[in-house]
Structure 1
Amino acid sequence: MTVSREDELFEIDMELLKLLDERIQKGAIARHDVDEAAYIQKLTSIYDGAAPGELVEKLIQSLFNESGKGRDHGAERRMLYSRESKRSDTIVEVNGHEIGGPGTVNIFGPCAVESYRQTAEVAAMLKEKGLGIIRGGAYKPRTSPYDFQGLGEEGLRILSRIREEYGLAVISEITAPGHVELARPHLDIFQIGARNMQNFELLKAVGRSQTPVLLKRGLSATVEEFLYAAEYILAEGNPRVILCERGIRTYEKSTRNTLDISAVPLLKQATHLPVMVDVTHSTGRKEIMAECAKAALAAGADGIMAEVHPEPDAALSDSKQQMSFTEFEDFYTNLP
């Protein structure tokens, strides 16, 4: 059978369109890492084909534009966090627990890892209740440089020992891209704290790992900004992202922050990612944490985060808002 010139041209153009689709998708992922002008100049200086240089330059420029490079097209793109991108709920499996699944998965533990003994006491209590994940800060970004900043690598080693001895998954905050490889052997979940929600290099670094990431909403971040921060992680190839509402800063002073309950259903409608609520940092008041936790779960949250310490009065950070074991018992037994 003779193939016509039109058929040959059609076959070439179909292959070209496939390559264009791949180029636009790859460009969207790499758009923040490429110097557009330098890239085009390098490409046109090397290219020695039949197409005029001006045409090549316009073509590559248009591909960058379609990838979202050089103009604010974020809202028009099909974002990876969106329900349009993925209809079914994302479930992040950690240590046999499914965050985002049909059940509720809660995360409790001390604000900071202060010692092995202190962390082990909390781990034993959580293990006895059948809970599977413990939180504890090894790196503590604090408002004042004179406040306790965490134990760093020693804290990570303590958490690793806790995981081995008590069979609990561990989550802790990392604060710099260099912490990813350092912390990976010790942690089951990376936490990105509120102050680092828009630390884009850190978001990219955890995105290049396959370790689950719990991303906290920034102090004054809009829901849209929160979702775009999650997109940075997803765009680097890590789909295991958990969102955490932890209160935002408003003019109200009766609580540490203002718990934005409305963010929970808004996020659940906008994204397939799991949503948790931190009632400790959002309220800072132990006497209302149980009620706020109930409200969060009623609004659709996939789980609750809260802080508990063997001796809150002696805690090196957030002493007033951490629950004692007795307070935690009352809190936990009243959760739905």
Structure 2
Amino acid sequence: MIIVMEQSSDPKLTDAVVTRIRELGYEPHLIQGSNRQVIGAVGDERGKMVLQSIESMPGVESVVPILKPYKLASREVCPEPSQVEIQPGLVFGGDELIVMAGPCSVESEQQIVETAHAVKRAGARILRGGAFKPRTSPYSFQGMEEDGLKLLATAREETGLPIITEVVNPRDVELVARYSDIMQVGARNMQNFALLKMLGQLDKPILLKRGMSATIQEFLMSAEYILAEGNRRVIMCERGIRTFETATRNTLDISAVPVLKEQTHLPVVIDPSHATGHSSLVPSMCYASVAAGCDGLIVEVHPNPEKAASDGPQSLRPAAFADMMMKLKDFADVSGRTLPGVGGSL
């Protein structure tokens, strides 16, 4: 249920409603709108009609059922787009188009530091890099683990770029959280509910990637697991889905951007590298994603893709990334977005 408070309602009345929601066995989630406060009451669907009695409490304007199976991720609860702050001046879901860039895997200090400087010069605002790598084959490079996290921290110290890196196993959540600014959930873990619940207990931004065979509703239900645990700092990431097409690694579902924008208040970003699997296709998909209304991009960049430990064919060289960013600024301008740091604007 959604409990809509009257405009300019006394905070004490809101507190009373929150207390009553808990007494009825539901969990309250306060959402501050531009004009009034809304309280989402989430819990067992079978007895939700008992919440209708709250409508008679002072300060309550209305009590409305949430029709979507995903409650807290739905625009029914939060009609206005959410913003996820990474640090002061760096926000997903605002006017700025946020670009995250870096190698698929951290391989050495020289590699990650060199790449960090290059993508920052080109206008990237966040450094990506994998320390833990879930791979299809058990014989493939699995990542440098904590040593890789330490190298990412070194690159952050040298460039000032926040870092995003993937967490694969629930037992590693605390370790990865100590080093990262944003924690990424990969496509293979989209429905690792034990992991999602642990991430929901953190006060740290989570980038959740869509599973390669997941519907949009399943994608949003996974986000709900994180939100239901109390962490509201969730960013949705479309990274391509599995289809019968073999010309690309996956099929980038561009339509997911406007669909998600209709269904959820959460920010939406695109991963064109994993979607296409070919570096030559990445720029075009970036431009199309911005035109579709995404809030950010996460792009793979490597100084020597031919020597990359993983995903070299889909990684842009730093020069190609810089060229793409210059053209991307035109698409951002047309879409009403800013791209600070590109073309001398930062």
- TM-score, shorter chain, exceeding 0.5: yes
Q: Does 1:25 align with 2:26?
A: yes
What one-letter code is carried by the residue in structure 1 that aligns with 2:80?
A: S
Of 297, 302, 311, which residue of structure 2 is paired with 1:309?
302
Runs of 4+ in 1 over 3 A off after TM superposition: 15-24, 73-78
1:254-306, Cα deviation, whole Å (9 max, x unpaired)? 10000001110000010000000000000112222111111111111001111
Equivalent position to 2:231, from 238, 250, 270: 238
Worse-matched range after superposition: 17-26 or 176-185:
17-26
Q: Which has the larger share of strand?
A: 2
CA shift in 2, pair 1:18/1:187, >3 Å: closer
Q: Which amino acid aligns with 1:123?
A: A
Q: How many angstroms does 1:330 deviate by?
A: 2.4
127-136 or 150-159, which moves further after superposition? 127-136
TM-superposition CA deviations, 1:110-132 (whole Å, max 9, x none): 00001111000011112223432
1:219 paired residue among 212, 217, 235: 212
- 1:20 Cα deviation from its structure 2 partner: 5.7
Amino acid at match of 1:257: N
1:79 to 71, 78, 102: 71
8 Å CA contact retained: 1:139, 1:152: yes
Partner of 1:196: 189
1:36-62 deviation line (CA, Å, top 9, x unaligned)? xxxxxxxxxxxxxxxxxxxxxxxxxx9
Structure 2 partner of 1:124: 117
TM-score normalised by the chain length of structure 2: 0.77
CA contact (8 A) 1:110 1:307 kept: yes
- C-alpha distance in structure 1 between counterparts of 2:239 and 2:70, whole Å: 27
Matched position secondary structure for 1:255? coil
Deviation at 1:179, TM superposition (A): 1.5
Q: Is the Cα contact below 8 Å between 1:114 and 1:151 reproduced in 2?
A: yes
The 3 A distance-change label for structure 1 pair 188 and 63 is: closer
Answer yes or no: is the 8 Å Cα contact 1:23–1:63 preserved in 2: no
Kindly state the Cα deviation for residue 161 of structure 1 after the two structures are TM-superposed: 1.5
Partner of 2:146: 153
Which residue in the other structure is 1:100 paired with? 93
1:63 deviation in Å?
6.3
Structure 2: gaps of 5 or more residues:
1-15, 30-42, 50-64, 332-346
Residue 56 of structure 1: aligned partner: none
C-alpha distance in 1, partners of 2:257/2:18?
A: 40
Query: Which of residues 253, 256, 259 in structure 1 aligns to 2:249?
Result: 256
Q: Is the 8 A contact 2:236 2:266 kept in 1?
A: yes
- Once residues 317 and 303 of structure 2 are traced to their aligned partners in structure 1, the CA distance between those partners, rounded to angstroms, is 6
SS of equivalent residue, structure 2 residue 164:
strand
Return the match for 2:279 from 261, 279, 286. Answer: 286
Conserved in 1, the CA contact under 8 Å of 2:21 and 2:28? no
Q: Which structure 1 residue ranges, 5 or more long, are not aligned?
A: 1-14, 29-61
- Counterpart CA distance in 2 for 1:236 and 1:249 is 30
Native 8 Å contact 2:182 2:205 kept in 1:
yes
**C-alpha distance in 1, partners of 2:217/2:121?**
39
What letter matches 2:86 in structure 1?
V
| 1:78-118 deviation digits (Å, cap 9, x = unpaired) | 70001111112111111331111012111111000011110
Deviation at 1:23, TM superposition (A): 3.3
Q: Secondary structure at the match of 2:302?
A: coil
Q: Which residue does 1:59 correspond to in 2?
A: none
Cα separation, 1, equivalents of 2:82 and 2:44? 31
Partner of 1:66: 47
Residue pair 1:207, 1:238 contacting (<8 A) in 2 also: yes
Task: Quickly say closer, same or farther: Cα 1:301–1:207, change in 2 above 3 A.
Answer: same
TM-aligned CA distance change 1:328 to 1:88, over 3 Å: same
| Percent identical | 48
Tell me, what secondary structure is at the counterpart of 1:178?
Answer: helix
Instruction: Give the TM-score, by structure 1 length.
Output: 0.80
Equivalent residue pairs, number? 285
Q: Which structure has the highest helix share of the two? A: 1
For 2:47 and 2:227, locate their aligned partners in 1 and report how far apart those are by CA, in whole Å.
19
Give the direction of change, closer, same or farther, for the CA distance of 1:118–1:67 in structure 2 (3 Å limit). farther
Q: Distance in 1 between matches of 2:25 and 2:70?
A: 13
* 1:321-332 map, 5 Å: 321-332=314-325
Counterpart residue type for residue 23 of structure 1: L
Tell me if structure 1 keeps the 8 A contact 2:119–2:318: no
CA distance in 2, matches of 1:313, 1:173: 23
Aligned mates of 1:93, 1:18 — CA distance in 2: 29
Equivalent runs, 1:139-150 vs 2, <5 Å: 139-150=132-143
